[in-house]
Amino acid sequence: MERIYFDISATTPLNPKVGEYMYTLQKEVYGNPSSIHREGQAAHAVMEKSRRQLANVLNCKPDEIIFTSSGTEANNMVLKGILKSGDHLISSSYEHPAILKVLPSLEEWGIEITLVKPNSSGQITVQAIESALQDNTRLISIMQVNNELGCINPLQEIGEFAHSHNILCHSDAVQALGKIPLDLQRIPVDFLSMSAHKLYGPKGAGALFKREGISLDPLLHGGGQEGNLRASTENLAGIGGFGLAAELAAISLEENTDHINDLENCFLSHLDDLEINYFINGKNRIPGVFNITFPGEDGSSLVMKLDLAGISISFGAACASGTSNASGMLLDMGLSEADARASVRISFGKIHSRKEVKKVIDTIHSLIKHSQLTDAIEG
């Protein structure tokens, strides 16, 4: 069965160019970047090339990029490396678990935490953050783009607000990099977490932007790599792949956005043509990500039925055991429990076609029609 993968927000397939480059690195550049000899120098050059590629994309200095194993690690570095007992953190209730599940440890260390909720459009506003402000607020951490909704937060305003109050600002930008422009000369954040596998790069490669002059305690101690901030022999192929993937995404950002916007139009008009009952959750979204409610349906069943029909979408956020529950975030935004359960995430990207979009909606249409018919028969 030919499958259609509409779960681009969960992860992306590897760009073949990135894959080829990584294979070459694995084969030919085996040196340790810390070594003095030629092999080490060659490896070191790959690292620095990648760092520059990422810095160019973000409009920051290469030395402000620290390579990590993941976005999760980058988030942990900031939260655990900055906050001390007695500090206050403002974050949001709809952060990824890579933030939310770190918080219990912070609380144990004596750190105060306030989580602000998204408004009904799915955004965290500066007003909401302001109302959570305390004298001891040390850090504000708000994701750039929400993973379940695709909604974009006003990061520039949030960063400006933080700085005007002498507070550090971090953003989990894992869902944003490669999808929308991120200019760190314009957006005044101090830290930004990123991951390669969301932009057609490899899994196991992430990065943290740390603005020059800000000090941070490392999580990992050891060989002094990454400016003493992230000990471990570098994942050279992963890092090389990350740099190239970020560069390729940036080069074709406009073209991809146009293409995905065209798919979005096709998606919405086809839903309307088939008179499917639906609504979209959240406003100001990145292209290609829909948190969509089909009233009366069971979201998790729809995900399974589509999977059996060869189409991959998601319900809630994926977790290790593969179970999922109605999203608390949707309830926070004002949806009923039933509508929250009837919601799924559909995300597509540059690799998809109008034909695939139509096929997905046709399949959803037939599955929904079938379940409505069964309901009618069973009365």
Partner 1 sequence: MPSKDKVLVAMSGGVDSSVALLEILEAGYDAIGITMKLWEYRDVGGNLLEDSNCCSVGAINNAKLVCDRMGAPHYTLDFTGVFRETVVDNFADEYLAGRTPNPCVRCNSFVKWDAFIEQADQLGATYIATGHYARIIQTRNEYHLAKGKDSLKDQAYVLWGIPSETLRRTLLPLGDYTKEDVRNIARKHKLETAETPESMEICFVADNNYKRFLKNYVPQEMEAIGEGEIVENSREVVGSHSGYTNYTIGQRKGLGLSNPEPRYVSKIDPESNRIYVGKKESLYDQSCRVTQVNWLVESPCFPLQVHAQIRYNSTEVPAIISQDGDTLTVQFDTPQLSITPGQSIVFYMDDRVLGGGIIELNSWK
Return the number of the residue (166 or 321) whose C-beta is nearest partner 1: 321
Rounded least distance, CB 64 to partner 1, Å: 37
Tell me the two tokens of residue 84.
């001390």
Contact criterion met (CB below 8 Å) for 272 and 265:
no
Tell me the two tokens of residue 264.
């979005």
Return the number of the residue (41 or 366) whose C-beta is nearest partner 1: 366
Return the number of the residue (1 or 36) whose C-beta is nearest partner 1: 1
Closest CA to 235 of 20, 10, 46: 46
Residue 331 Cα to chain centre, angstroms: 21
Tell me the two tokens of residue 287.
């292209």
User: Which phi and psi (to 5°) does residue 80 adopt?
Assistant: -85, -20
Rounded least distance, CB 282 to partner 1, Å: 24
Q: Which residues bind partner 1 (CB under 8 A)?
A: 298, 300-301, 304-305, 307-308, 320-325, 370-371, 374
Rounded least distance, CB 3 to partner 1, Å: 12
Exposure of 370 in the CB half-sphere (CA atoms within 13 A)? 10
Return the number of the residue (165 or 369) whose C-beta is nearest partner 1: 369
3-state SS track over 87-101: CEEEEECCCCHHHHC
Strands 4-5 and 311-312: parallel
State how far the Cα of 88 lies from the Cα of 48, in Å rounded to an integer: 36
Closest CA to 285 of 132, 164, 147, 126: 147
State how far the Cα of 171 lies from the Cα of 189, in Å rounded to an integer: 7
Rounded least distance, CB 374 to partner 1, Å: 7
State how far the Cα of 263 lies from the Cα of 265, in Å rounded to an integer: 5
Q: What is the set of active-site residues?
A: 319
Rounded least distance, CB 321 to partner 1, Å: 5
Return the number of the residue (36 or 377) whose C-beta is nearest partner 1: 377
Rounded least distance, CB 370 to partner 1, Å: 8
Return the number of the residue (95 or 297) whose C-beta is nearest partner 1: 297
Contact criterion met (CB below 8 Å) for 263 and 288:
yes
